[in-house]
């Protein structure tokens, strides 16, 4: 139940409740994306929302939930006569599982019945079931990109299109779209982020009293669910009634030109791409005004809408975290407010007071800094964020300890990240901006998760042949089916012009596309790398490869070796942002346990093969080939036989030992020099010759 959760116990949950309510009031807002750590009640509150939506009337027997007063004229179960007596039911809550297929999402045609019985039978999918209700996608960042595209297209158009084997089906699909995700498991593409109307970040409170209240209420629910529900029934009913009243008020809400100019000014100042942000903010502001019982949009409505619609649209780099400078937002709104906005700017109207979040919290009388005094037209959001961020001394200005580790008294490294244990000692090299890198592929053809790196047999791609289906036919190969049936027509007693088809004649298409791989980086962080000031270039190269892995939808992992052992700095994950953070704070120094690094990499790959056998690995070993500690390198390299690998040779200087060259030969890996990573053309040509 949406009102039973103590919202103070989760930071951002009040914003989440508001975002869900605004979408319930006006579906034109475009849905909600909830980002947050695990265990923050994301799924709980989304599932509770459906119970607060007004009940809907549907045409009896219609699988597409048509409204009796205004039925869909293109409904596959129609046509329905307007004014038909309907059946009242609660709004549907439909959950889309991560492993769903395209047919399960949009619906499918029964091809076998179409060919053998001559009937066109359409089985509706989850989009039809979610019509006039809620479609919930948990872990939306793990859903395949083409399914997210279909999902968001249907949400934007309000219509689902199915085109299969010369049969076209379309039906209404208007729903409240809610997606949840844990950023640690990977990000959505910026193009897909932009398609969600609003976004909210949530995290658990660190206040023991608030956390205790969560546990107290959960225990009460587990002890007697009916009594718990009865306790909150009045508040739940009041919330549902308020949503219904606000829905009815939405068509009457006016958006004055002054407020529209405010929206355009804010979106332009925050440098968001395109005009979708303006449209979403306008619709959300109208919904917020209706929710507050107003018949005209005020500045406070614009502020509330912008706080939810702009953060995820400001990302310029895949490694950037969504965010919004609320002080700059208030400054922009205050500068563009005028006399036709008499309401919505003070605490009496539900807006934040002078001491609340989003307002200038400096003590009265404190003069603004030079940066704060700059007008918005001359100050970008990134500058404003830097102006409000706490300053840390540069790495070169920070005092070194007696052992030269570059750590301060708090035990932090030069990147500001706490380190512990024997790996803490060492220098932290700077990282430059990432650059383009060559496409590195795993040889052969796999059958792993769809992506954009190596060749793979997938359900989406170009047709390369046909095969007998192992289950229901999803993608019929018409020519192969006819060729299989043709030689048997006489023995089957064919007399007319049509073919006599049996089930064993059916063939499905074999397609070849691209798959995502597990890219495991094994990085030498020993003193031999830092002494020649190569670690900065190494980190930049690996960061560039991480960016490439993000774009190609790979999983990534990071193993580092230095001192006396190797460690897994980042277990295999879809979150390349986590990999970039670990890489930036990676210290260097000490001896070079190369064998330990190879052994640890082999162990990581062994475990991952058990978890995901279809995902093929690509080992990227970044080293100069030196080994001054640990066991035998040849024995450790033997553990990686059969693994596709690339060795990035970091050796430099006039005298070279060629150790990385010999290591690449032992691993049967392609050798790439560190400098060549920036030379896209030559490396691509060399690598294609190798594979």
Return the active site residues: 276
Secondary structure letter of residue 55 according to DSSP: P
End-to-end CA distance of the chain: 57
The HSE-up count of residue 525 (CA atoms within 13 Å, CB side) is 33
CA neighbor of 284 nearest in space, from 17, 21, 91: 21
From CA 191, how far away is CA 176, in angstroms rounded? 20
Q: Assign 3-state DSSP to the chain and report helix, strand, coil percentages, each to 5.
A: 40, 20, 40
Q: What does the alpha-carbon distance between residue 389 and residue 416 come to, in Å, rounded to a whole number?
A: 13
Q: Name the phi and psi angles at 125, rounded to 5.
A: -105, -160
| Torsion 349-355-360-364 (CA) sign | positive
The CA distance from 419 to 431, in Å, is: 18
Q: Tell me which H or E stretch contains 124.
A: strand 122-124
Cβ density class 15-53: b for 16+ within 10 Å, e for less? bbbbbbbbbbbbbbbbbbbbbbeeebbbeebbbbbbebb
Residue whose pair of structure tokens reads 């780099």 in the numeric block: 317
Q: Which two tokens stand for residue 321?
A: 């975290």
Report the distance separating Cα 419 and Cα 425, nearest Å.
8
Whole-number Cα distances in Å, 562 to 396, 422, 529, 578: 23, 10, 10, 21
Phi, psi of 446 (to 5 degrees): -105, -175
CA distance 376 to 392: 26
Neighbour tally for 261: CB within 10 Å: 12
In angstroms, the CA 76 to CA 70 distance is 15
Residue 534 CB contacts under 8 Å (≥ 6 apart), including other chains:
624, 650, 652, 674
Phi, psi of 10 (to 5 degrees): -130, 120
**By the 8 A CB rule, do 434 and 547 touch?**
yes
- In whole angstroms, how large is the CA radius of gyration of the chain? 30
């Amino acid at each position: 139940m949406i009102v039973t959760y103590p919202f103070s116990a989760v930071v951002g949950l009040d914003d989440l409740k508001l975002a869900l309510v605004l979408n319930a009031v006006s579906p034109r807002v475009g849905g909600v994306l909830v980002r947050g750590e695990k265990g923050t009640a994301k799924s709980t509150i989304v599932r509770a929302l459906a119970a607060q939506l007004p009940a809907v009337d549907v045409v009896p027997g219609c699988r597409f939930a048509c409204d009796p007063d205004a039925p869909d004229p293109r409904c596959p179960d129609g046509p329905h006569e307007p004014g038909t007596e309907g059946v009242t039911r609660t709004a549907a809550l439909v959950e889309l599982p991560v492993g769903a297929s395209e047919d399960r999402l949009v619906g499918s045609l029964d091809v076998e019945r179409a060919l053998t019985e001559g009937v066109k039978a359409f089985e509706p999918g989850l989009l039809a079931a979610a019509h006039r209700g809620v479609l919930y996608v948990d872990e939306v960042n793990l859903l395949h990109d083409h399914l997210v595209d279909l999902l968001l297209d249907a949400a934007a158009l309000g219509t689902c299109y199915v085109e299969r084997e010369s049969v076209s089906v379309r039906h209404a699909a208007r729903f409240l779209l809610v997606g949840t995700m844990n950023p640690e498991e990977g990000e959505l593409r910026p193009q897909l982020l932009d398609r969600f109307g609003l976004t909210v970040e949530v995290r658990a409170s660190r206040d023991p009293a608030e956390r205790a209240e969560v546990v107290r209420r959960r225990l009460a629910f587990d002890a007697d669910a009916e009594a718990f529900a009865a306790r909150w029934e009045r508040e739940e009913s009041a919330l549902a009634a308020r949503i219904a009243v606000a829905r009815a008020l939405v068509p009457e809400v006016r958006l004055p030109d002054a407020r529209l100019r405010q929206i355009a000014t804010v979106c332009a100042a925050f440098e968001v791409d395109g005009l979708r942000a303006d449209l979403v903010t306008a619709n959300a502001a109208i919904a917020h005004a209706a929710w507050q019982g107003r018949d005209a949009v005020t500045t406070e409505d614009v502020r509330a809408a912008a706080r939810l619609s702009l953060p995820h649209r400001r990302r310029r780099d895949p490694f950037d975290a969504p965010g919004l400078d609320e002080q700059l937002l208030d400054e922009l709104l205050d500068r563009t407010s005028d006399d036709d906005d008499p309401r919505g700017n003070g605490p009496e109207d539900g807006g934040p007071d002078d001491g609340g979040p989003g307002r200038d919290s400096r003590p009265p009388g404190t003069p603004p800094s030079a940066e704060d005094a700059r007008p918005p037209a001359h100050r970008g959001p990134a500058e404003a964020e830097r102006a409000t961020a706490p300053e840390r001394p540069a790495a070169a200005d920070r005092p070194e300890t007696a052992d030269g580790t570059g750590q301060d008294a708090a035990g932090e490294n030069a990147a500001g990240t706490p380190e512990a244990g024997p790996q803490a000692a060492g220098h932290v090299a700077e990282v430059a901006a990432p650059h383009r890198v060559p496409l590195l592929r795993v040889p052969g053809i796999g059958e792993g998760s769809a992506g954009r790196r190596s060749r793979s047999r997938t359900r989406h791609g170009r047709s390369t042949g046909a095969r007998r289906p192992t289950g229901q036919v999803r993608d019929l190969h018409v020519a192969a089916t006819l060729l299989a049936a043709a030689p048997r027509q006489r023995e089957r007693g064919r007399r007319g012009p049509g073919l006599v088809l049996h089930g064993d004649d059916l063939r499905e298409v074999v397609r070849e596309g691209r798959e995502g791989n597990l890219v495991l980086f094994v990085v030498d962080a020993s003193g031999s790398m830092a002494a020649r000031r190569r670690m900065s270039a190494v980190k930049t190269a690996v960061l560039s490869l991480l960016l490439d892995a993000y774009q190609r939808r790979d999983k990534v992992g990071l193993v580092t070796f230095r001192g006396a052992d190797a460690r897994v700095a980042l277990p295999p994950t879809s979150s390349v942002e986590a990999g970039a953070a670990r890489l930036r704070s990676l210290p260097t120094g000490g001896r070079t346990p190369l064998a330990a690094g190879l052994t640890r990499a082999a162990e990581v790959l062994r475990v991952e093969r058990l978890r995901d056998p279809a995902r093929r690995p690509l080992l990227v070993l970044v080293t100069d080939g030196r080994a001054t500690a640990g066991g035998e390198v040849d024995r450790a390299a033997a553990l990686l036989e059969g693994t596709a690998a690339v060795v990035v040779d970091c050796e430099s200087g006039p005298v070279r030992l060629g150790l990385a060259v010999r290591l690449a030969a032992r691993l049967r890996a392609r050798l790439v020099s560190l400098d060549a990573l920036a030379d896209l053309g030559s490396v691509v040509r060399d690598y294609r010759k190798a594979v």
